[in-house]
């Protein structure tokens, strides 16, 4: 899987996620398109400015698209590819990955 400048994940009803994994370059962008007929939140496991693990929470309204720069969650200066996991849940829902009673999660591979 070759790294791209921009990758897009589509969140659909069911729940389903396409693709479940994609590769992006550090300076690139990740796009989340919500077609799930519900307002959702995307929780990305990443790093803050001190390189501690944190969770970036991004709301994505029904029928909307949100662009997240990779630099907002990925650690700068890596020399090898790093995989960051994310999950999708309904806004105000209980527990990560809960969208319509199922788990929606995926991986973002970030290459230097």
d(CA 15, CA 89): 10
**pLDDT, the chain, mean:** 85
d(CA 81, CA 26): 9
At 102 the pLDDT is 53
pLDDT (tens digit, 9 = 90+) per residue, 28-74?
A: 999 999 998 888 888 898 876 665 667 788 889 999 999 999 999 99
pLDDT(101) > 70: no
Q: Determine the 3-state secondary structure of 71 from DSSP.
A: helix
Give the helix/strand (H/E) hosting 8.
strand 4-12
pLDDT(97) > 50: no
d(CA 24, CA 42): 17
At 7 the pLDDT is 97
The tokens for 12 are 């659909």
pLDDT(100) > 60: no
Quick count: other Cβ atoms within 10 Å of Cβ 36?
23
Question: What DSSP designation does 37 have?
Answer: S
Furthest-apart CA pair in the chain: how many Å?
Answer: 39
Q: Determine the 3-state secondary structure of 70 from DSSP.
A: helix
Domain 4-111 - what CATH class?
Answer: mainly beta
């Amino acid at each position: 899987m070759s790294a791209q400048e921009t990758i897009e994940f589509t969140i659909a009803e069911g729940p389903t996620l396409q693709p479940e994994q994609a590769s992006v370059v550090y300076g690139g962008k990740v796009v989340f398109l919500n077609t799930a007929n519900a307002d959702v939140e995307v929780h990305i496991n990443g790093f803050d400015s001190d390189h501690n693990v944190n969770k970036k929470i991004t709301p994505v309204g029904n029928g909307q698209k949100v662009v997240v720069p990779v630099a907002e969650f990925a650690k700068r200066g890596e020399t090898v590819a790093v995989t960051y996991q994310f999950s999708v849940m309904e806004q105000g829902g209980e527990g990560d990955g809960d969208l319509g009673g199922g788990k929606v999660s995926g991986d973002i591979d970030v290459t230097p």
